[in-house]
Structure 1
Amino acid sequence: MRLDEKLQAALEQQLGNHVSGTIIKRGWSYYKGGYVQNAKETVHHTLTGIVRGTDLYAVVMDAEHFGYSTCTCPFNDYCKHMVAVYFQYYAEVGGGEAAAERSYFRMLGLVPASEVAKREEPAPDQTGIQIFPGKEGTALEWLGWMEKEYGESWKKCRHSLHALQPVLSSLKGLSKDWEPPQRRLHWATAIMFVLEQAELAINTVDSFSRYYHEMSFLRMAEPWVEHLNTLAGELDPLDMGDGEQAWSDDLVERMRQRALDTDRQLFEWGNMYLAFCEKLSVDPNWHQRELESLLAELDKAPEGERNESFLHAAIGMLYFVKGEDEKSIHSFSQGAFERIQKLIYPCVAQRMEAKQWDLVDRWMSFLYECVYQNRNARNIGPFMALCRRADEDRPELPTWFSYMTELLPYSYSELSEHWLSLQRYEDWADLQMFIGVKAEEIDAAAAREVAKGAPQVLLPLYHQSVDSAIASRNRQGYRLAVKQLKKLEKLYKSMKETAKWESYLLELVTKNQRLRALQEELWKGKIIT
């Protein structure tokens, strides 16, 4: 048995992230010294081994959940024995000592000795990009170097992105010992490069298989995109030096150009761009420069095609961050709602959180017009969630009720759930009658809740259901009528209205006395005796 490529790469990355350079070097020495007696993969993606040290130590490493990894040695942390076992395993299944050595250097963020001389020379190539940029390199120089070193990695991704995980781990390892602000930007650059490689890979897939490959690629890349957004959130624009500022500007520019491209893309580059913008806009000077750049882009006569919806959305977001809501709404209104609506909802939620109800009213009016023109189940859900929240916070305003009811029948499910959550049972029952929902179609849990809180509102629904079932003039309908009558009887009794129930039943039986089959079912169901 052996770990699959993805889990093996993940285990190497976890060791590199959690084990200090000193411990990694000691683990390498133990491996080279032959102290590892065995290393193998067992069930449930677990790597086990025995290492001879002062005593014999048993190592267990969980490739899927690294935090559960243990060693029987006295060291109270991830230890050299774990590292040694990993190198032994890698050497046995991955190509011998040379492969283990490459893993060792990746963990340390170093260049293998065989390549040091080549990479330490600052000689630029024909484009002026240094072979190995180092800590003084810029974002563009690093991207150029990554392209030269790993630019064909995408060719190994015919069916999955497994081949890109060790590339990302190796690139991150190069800046492992840098200061956090600079390391953060370098890691963001590495993730961007790997995502670009993934997009090159997906473009080689035939159209018949593309959808399935896209779903697979997106799932595998999800942690990378999430990490990139996390790195954006950790930026401190007010404390950046000139070099860091220039680096972040280059990254933002590259993401913006990606987002403007109308070619079919695998990832939402616009969302990644806006994650950086939201953080960097804390610096008013940067915010103004970026807004001016976007406006200048908008004024240009487009050369070829560009994503106009993204451009309007980006301008709208920057206006929103600045507090210019009317300009923001105007910019959003210029784009295709289907493509940018995900960006608008958080803006409204933020204004609700701040209790800025005048602005909320303006945003909701704009949203309602857009949703009504493009109403479908996908668009209704997020807007209804905002309406429900607004109705809970400001129930005295009739606007939210108006929006929710005017979007019927698309809003039925959300509105029905909303009335139940607020215990507005009469409104809930009126909604069922209006939509034409039959009593037998109502969710059992909802029916029990209403029967307990306001049983009287259910009476018209069950009366209607009984009449409809009898009108079917067949045995199945009659049996349904009996079932609903039993529920009606319970409701009347819970309301202590036994006399009304008996009067209703007498009238029903008398009215339908010629329907012998119905009379038989009533007798079988013990409704009448």
Structure 2
Amino acid sequence: MLQRELTREQAIAVAEQVLQHVEGTIIERGYSYFSDGVVFNTRVENNRTLCSDVQGSQVYHVRLDLEEVQGSSCTCPYTRLCKHIAATFFQMYSVFENPRHFLGKAQQPRRATFSPAMLIPNYRPAVSPPQGNESAPVQSGLTAASSVHDWWAFFESWTRNLLSAMESFRASSEIFSSYQNVLSVTAGWPTERAQLFHIHANLFHLQKLQQYVQTYRQSHWYPDLAQTAERLLEQLEGAIYFSDRQALWSKHRLALEETLTIIRRWKENDLSSLYWVYAYRLVWWSLLDAPEWIEQEKAELDETIASPNTSEAVLEKARLLRAHFSVMDRQDDLALAVWMPMRRLPLAFYLPYMKAFAREAQWQRFLDWTTALTGRIGQAEAQQYRFVLTVWREAMKQVGREAECGAMLKTFLPSSYPEYALYLYEEKQFKSWIDLQMSFRVPFADLSAVQLKEIEEADPALLYPYYVREVNRLIRERNRTAYKEAIKLLKRGRATYAKADQEADWERFVDRLSAKHNRLRAFQEELRRGNLNL
């Protein structure tokens, strides 16, 4: 069917856009969905839209725009080009080309392209039960007129057995299932009221997760539990971002005042986990941003900091939280002066601010933070690093410094290794390129044959240190296979030296190598077989 409605050229054109605009991890997940055969009802509409249904946690409906991939949509909560869209792409692409070849291409290092969509939270929480969800709504006795206090009383009742269930079964699944199920309470509520309820449900379950860790895990966060906390925070960010804050302030101020009371009590939490701190900052930044409330919170924190009776642990917590309000006051230097010495704060701690600066086109402010956080960016996990680097390039472009990007990539090492290596090669800074490969201990066999050939033709002597180091490394492995690889490199090195009319130097190196390792019988045998033992 698709082969008659579409062309190979269309498939290739869409593939180029997918490579440019879809994250690598999303492409990989989309390929898994496609391979599992969960894409169905695929059809073309209006000669430019590929529609499909994809079975995930429920059936999602995808519309892939074949002319402008960024205009594609899916009914899942993910706000960017998602794995269901990627799976639909693979369903179409497989008709014309081998999808595994495309997947391999997508897994190669590539420059991400900036899009404003990158700055939008990943998830947009639904304010009504999803279509096709046949489970009965939770019976709560709550109505749209119920107070926030009533909400939290219901949450406590609803989760009275949750911690024991988390201990008996998979903790992450139990708590997220509880969170998702309780959202059905708001069916039929006004949208903005439902949005605020979702925010509180999220805050409650995040608090419950931290209580579980402290009760059953002695303050130890297993990776699965940490991922659940991060997932809840992603949902919280989306719930706040997409909420109708104007309607909340005009129609539900009393509920916001109750929210204020709850979030102020969070200052009593300890710093064994930072997840509550992330949530505290999100709520203050975008929901409770009334000047009089902010000033009162700052005054309480200042009083705690100034008190001679404040313990060191409480002082550290108060200073950490107070620095957030310094950022809100655009006193970034004061905040960073507090946070930077706290080595436990990862790059993820700073990302919400950097996203906000980029959304508001405060490009120089974003760049100032990347300068301050250079070390953390260089050590960050791949996904966070790619995000910062992509926005950083856009910020440099916006302030007229795009030409400096290549040289400045060095400051983000080791994370920037692929991009910096590509920059050095494209600029024909071959000596620096070789030095970079050697410093990262890249095996000679992993280097691009095309790049090596160009360097040999330009200046073969640049490769001598690499040959010497690699040959010595292989000999130290003390096995026949490594010796054979060393002989191949010695032969290649001889040819490279010959191009520079320095073959005699190479022969002397081989002679010294043979003498140094004259007791390695297997190595000596390989030298003779390679006609190198003169």
Give the structure-1-normalised TM-score: 0.57
Q: What's the counterpart of residue 271 of structure 1?
A: 278
> Which amino acid letter does the alignment assign opposite residue 179 of structure 1?
P
* 3-state SS, counterpart of residue 286 of structure 2: helix
| Rounded Cα–Cα distance in structure 2 between residues aligned with 1:330 and 1:499 | 54
In the other structure, the counterpart of 2:239 is: 231
Match in the other structure for 2:449: 448
Contact 2:471 2:490 in 1 (8 A): no
How far 1:469 sits from its partner (Å)?
6.9
Question: Is the Cα contact below 8 Å between 1:164 and 1:194 reproduced in 2?
Answer: yes
Structure 1 residue 183: Cα displacement: 0.7
Which structure 2 residues correspond to residues 99-498 of structure 1 after superposition, within 5 A? 107-108=136-137, 110=139, 132=141, 134-148=143-157, 150-159=159-168, 160-161=170-171, 164=175, 167-168=178-179, 171-205=182-216, 207=218, 211=220, 214-219=222-227, 223-242=231-250, 244-258=252-266, 260-262=268-270, 264-265=272-273, 268-280=275-287, 286-287=290-291, 289-300=293-304, 301=307, 308-333=315-340, 336-339=342-345, 341-345=347-351, 347=353, 359=365, 362-364=368-370, 366-367=372-373, 371=375, 389=392, 394=402, 396=404, 400=408, 403=411, 411=413, 413-414=414-415, 416-422=417-423, 423=425, 424-432=429-437, 435=439, 437=441, 441-442=442-443, 444-448=445-449, 450-455=451-456, 456=459, 458-465=462-469, 468=472, 481-489=486-494, 491=496, 498=499
Structure showing greater relative contact order (alpha-carbon pairs closer than 8 Å, 6 or more residues apart): 2
1:89 corresponds to which residue? none
Shift of the 421–157 alpha-carbon distance from structure 1 to 2, 3 Å rule, reads: same
| 1:206-256 C-alpha deviation (Å, 9 max, x unpaired) | 64xx747x4444445655443332211112323324552332343354345
Q: Using the TM superposition, give the Cα deviation of residue 158 of structure 1 relative to its aligned residue in structure 2, in angstroms.
A: 2.0
Asked if structure 2 preserves the Cα contact closer than 8 Å seen for 1:175 and 1:183, the reply is yes
Instruction: Report if the CA contact (8 A) 1:419-1:427 is conserved.
Output: no
- For 1:137 and 1:272, the matched residues in 2 are separated by 24
Per-residue Cα deviation, 1:394-446 (whole angstroms, up to 9, x for no partner): 55499947856xxxxxx5x436434312124321212455x494xxx526333
| Deviation of the 1:157 alpha carbon | 2.8
Taking the aligned partners of 2:470 and 2:155, their CA distance within structure 1 comes to: 73
Query: Do the aligned partners of 1:294 and 1:311 also contact (CA within 8 Å) in 2?
Result: no
CA 291–380 in structure 1, closer or farther in 2 if over 3 Å, else same? farther
C-alpha separation between the residues in 1 aligned to 2:270 and 2:447? 47
Matched-pair identity in %:
13
Instruction: Report the AA paired with residue 246 of structure 1.
Output: L
Larger Rg computed on CA atoms: 1
SS of equivalent residue, structure 2 residue 188: coil
Q: What amino acid is the match of 1:158?
A: E
Amino acid corresponding to residue 280 of structure 2 in structure 1: Y
Q: Which amino acid aligns with 2:164?
A: K
Task: Pick closer, same or farther for the CA change 1:341–1:376 going to 2, 3 Å.
Answer: closer
Q: CA RMSD in A?
A: 5.0
Query: What is the aligned partner in structure 1 of residue 81 from structure 2?
Result: none
Q: 1:372-409: CA deviations, max 9, x gaps?
A: 9xx995699978996895699555499947856xxxxx
Sort the Cα spacing of 1:483 and 1:293 in 2 relative to 1 into closer, same or farther, 3 A.
Answer: same
Unaligned regions of 5+ residues in structure 2, if any?
1-35, 39-53, 62-132
Deviations 1:426-481 (A, max 9, x none): 21212455x494xxx52633353530442336522244337847998999686554
Kept in 1, the 8 Å contact 2:203–2:279? The answer is no
Aligned positions, number: 389
Distance in 2, Cα, partners of 1:246 & 1:473: 72
Contact 2:406 / 2:420 at 8 angstroms: preserved in 1? no
Tell which deviates more after alignment, 344-353 or 133-142. Answer: 344-353
- Provide structure 1 residue ranges, at least 5 long, that are not aligned to the other structure: 1-43, 47-61, 70-103, 112-131, 405-410
- When normalised by structure 2's length, the TM-score is 0.56
Equivalent pair of 1:348/1:363 in contact (CA under 8 Å): yes
The C-alpha deviation readout for 1:471-527, integer Å capped at 9, x for no partner, is 9899968655423213324656xxxx6462644445446767878777754441245
Query: Do the aligned residues in 2 keep the contact of 1:106 with 1:173 (CA within 8 Å)?
Result: no
Q: CA distance change for structure 1 residues 499 and 251 in 2, over 3 Å: closer, same or farther?
A: same
